[in-house]
Amino acid sequence: MSLIHPTALVDPACELDSSVRVGPYTVIGPHVQIGAGTTVGAHCVIEGHTTIGRDNRIFQFNSLGAIPQDKKYAGEPCELVIGDRNTIREFCTFNIGSPGDRAVTSVGNDNWIMAYVHLAHDCVVGNHTIFANNTQLAGHVIVDDWVILGGFTVAHQFVRIGAHAMTAMCSLLFADLPPFVMCQGQPAQARSMNFEGLRRRGFSAERISAVKAMHKALYRDDLKLDDAMLRIQALTERSPEAAPDVALMLDFLKDASPQRGIVR
């Protein structure tokens, strides 16, 4: 029995694994590739040069692979690439990239993306993230692994959100959000570190203690950023187990945009 509903419009030039399920009234364009085990709900439109991996669950009423909302776009074959085991709930809009940047919008693996999420052109989403309802990312935003974005979070273009960071509902990000940091507000301000999330991911007491020390250096002791980074670097001497976490933070801070700065 065919796994493609008879009312679906699937271009014969697209590449769908034989195990892909397609719901009623869905439209799939000629340059689309979808891997094994993925299900696509009803009334979806998947178009453009879009590649979707294995075992994804794409719910009804999604628009994936439409052209970017960028007036400079002139029909270039930019891409949307989605990895494996992602859940994409209703009414999400993921655009392809634009020629002025990477030309690719990408989503990694094992992400949980709730309803009405927008990923603009050239966004990069890592692995194991959670996007609550109505999260909106402007173009060129980077979201690292294990990030949790609260409902109605909005990120300005070119912002980067570090690994294990978390935003509260209705947060507005104009600056880069460092790893581990929890923020809230319009514009967003740092409130704490995502300690509970780290515990759930198996961080040891020593690693969590080092994250607390990083928070103190960045936000509690009124240090300039360069001085805070020196103090964070010194944490590896007394907490060797936390060396990867310290490196993650320092690499992020070194690469933070000088125009936007970081959420403080």
Q: pTM (2 decimals)?
A: 0.97
Distance between CA atoms of residues 93 and 232, nearest Å: 39
245 assigned to active site: no
Average pLDDT over residues 130-145: 98
Set 48, 65, 108, 139: catalytic member = 139
- pLDDT tens readout for residues 218-256: 999 999 999 999 999 999 998 999 999 999 999 999 998
- Assigned token pair, 111: 């992400």
Set 31, 49, 118, 121: catalytic member = 121
121 assigned to active site: yes
- pLDDT tens readout for residues 23-69: 999 999 999 999 999 999 999 999 999 999 999 999 999 999 999 99
End-to-end CA distance of the chain: 57
Set 122, 145, 176, 245: catalytic member = 122
128 assigned to active site: no
